[in-house]
Amino acid sequence: MPSITIKATDGTGDFAAYVVEPKTKPAGVVVVIQEIFGVNQAMRDVAAWIADMGFIAVAPDLFWRIEPGIDLTDKTEADWKRAFELFQIFDQPKGIEDLKATVAAGRTMPGANGKVATIGYCLGGRLAFMMAEQSDADANISYYGVGLDGLLGDLDKVTKPLVVHIADKDEFFPPEGRAAVVAATKGHKHITTYVYPNANHAFARVGGTHWDGRSATIANGRSAEVLVAVLG
């Protein structure tokens, strides 16, 4: 499995990142931010889709500080239990630092054109939103991020394109929280928020239990347009 090694900025070690390269380079880099299931087949499928669009996909193992190589699914109760355990103990500020290190590494990768965006799902959707507020990534795309209403105080720090995909029936993000995000981001110069009717959390997880082909296709098209515009 092709990968690169990235040095953590706090000096605690190195972590791996799964890589899929496009047919043509130089190309922009897209950092794929994992769900609570680790860099699993769903994330590898996202990476393949990104590479097919002509970008270098880099999916860092953000759970490496807990246990390297976590690879779970949404198909068994045991995997769900383990995934939620990982979510509870995951250090999000450390995760952001690892993502910043991944963005920096992406800018200088062989075949890269120096431009880097992030795209995240679930936990990764929250982290992508945080990256828009805390990093120099050229664009950030958030799919059904959780608890985004708690991040609205720093919207003035968003200076690059941020796309927010919200599921209208998200079982992990209460309606009042979703409404707060929609209201707070409305009219923001750099943020575009979309709500997908009758879609549940993880509607864009290929092969997932809540896959919604219509919502996923529309959201992915919007994401692709932003990536092309920003990364070239």
What is the pTM assigned to this prediction?
A: 0.98
With respect to CATH, is domain 3-231 assigned 1.10.3720.10? no
**Domain-wise residue ranges, the chain:** 3-231
Residue of 74, 138, 170, 212 marked active site: 170
Residue 1 has pLDDT above 80, yes or no: no
Encode pLDDT of 140-155 as tens digits.
999 999 999 999 999 9
* Cα 39 to the center of its chain, rounded Å: 11
Look up 170 and say whether it is catalytic: yes
- 154 counts as catalytic: no
- The distance of Cα 52 from the centroid of its chain, to the nearest Å, equals 17
69-84: pLDDT as tens digits: 999 999 999 999 999 9
Strands (DSSP E) along 151-199, which ranges?
A: 162-167, 191-196
Mean pLDDT of 84-97: 98
- The Cβ of residue 223 has, within 10 Å, a number of other Cβ atoms equal to 24
pLDDT, tens digit, for every residue of 150-192? 999 999 999 999 999 999 999 999 999 999 999 999 999 999 9
The CA-based angle 27-222-214, given to 5 degrees, is 125
**Which tokens go with 189?**
């110069």
